[in-house]
Amino acid sequence: MEQFPLWTAIVTPMNTDGSVDHESFELLLRKQEEAGNGVLVLGSTGEGLNLNEEEKRGIVQFTKGLDLDVPVMVGIGGFDLSAQVDFIHWLNEIEPDALLLVTPLYAKPGAEGQFEWFSELMAETELPCMLYNVPSRTGVKMHPSVPARLSKEFDNLMGVKEASGSVEEFKAFRREAPDVKFYSGDDGMTPAFTKEGGVGLVSVASNVWPKATRKYMDLCLADETEDLFPLWKNATDALFKAPNPVPVKTLLHKKRWITNDTVRLPLSLSDISEEVENELLEQDKNIAEWLDSQ
């Protein structure tokens, strides 16, 4: 598969009753296609763990049925190994372009447990697999030795989404596995990660700014971001002033790209203030003006 520097961790639009809004979803996917961004469905931004098995399969089938000109990655998450293996077996038949495998939730396994967990999952598929390190959500850091060991055992390791929020930890991964491709999992950390050898970004911001974020990523890879601050830091910070994806869905709704800003419990729209909503609109205006100037 061709390497894509930008993947959008796409939201899952919902109707007011909580069902999936396929009309809005197609609009969002087409905007990513137009920008040339790969698409990740069923990630944490897509509320993947809040969807049941039937809904998840329906989202994958719907996305694949659009025959997008950009690759589609599917998130695999949770702590039930057998359920994840079953889902992977089903995905082997559907044939998305890649899978995203997250460090196990809640159990806080050590290096050996992490290695064996990922090994069990990767052995069940020939699809390219990206690992996901996000200790703020899983409660445990991926050990730097794990990607290095897996790269020696499996040909289908396509890279690592690194969302530790630490440049030093990113550098530790790179020292252990210099031949593995590392992607920033944090919009705000992307310039720092690309300076240390990062090859791309799995983005939340590109939901609302697909073309601008792609331009931003290209500038990061070219190490030409000096003139972007504080613009991008302020913009991406605003997207995380309430639990993700509440701010993103709020802004998408205000931009009229989705019909409703519905989220599922335990997420709540009440966690976003009017002040943050106004800031999101201001940052949206700033990003639009910047993109027009390019």
Backbone dihedral region of 47: left (phi > 0), alpha (psi from -120 to 50 degrees) or beta? left
In the set 56, 141, 161, 249, the catalytic residue is 161
In the set 56, 132, 215, 249, the catalytic residue is 132
161 is catalytic: yes
132 is catalytic: yes
* Catalytic residue positions, numbered: 132, 161
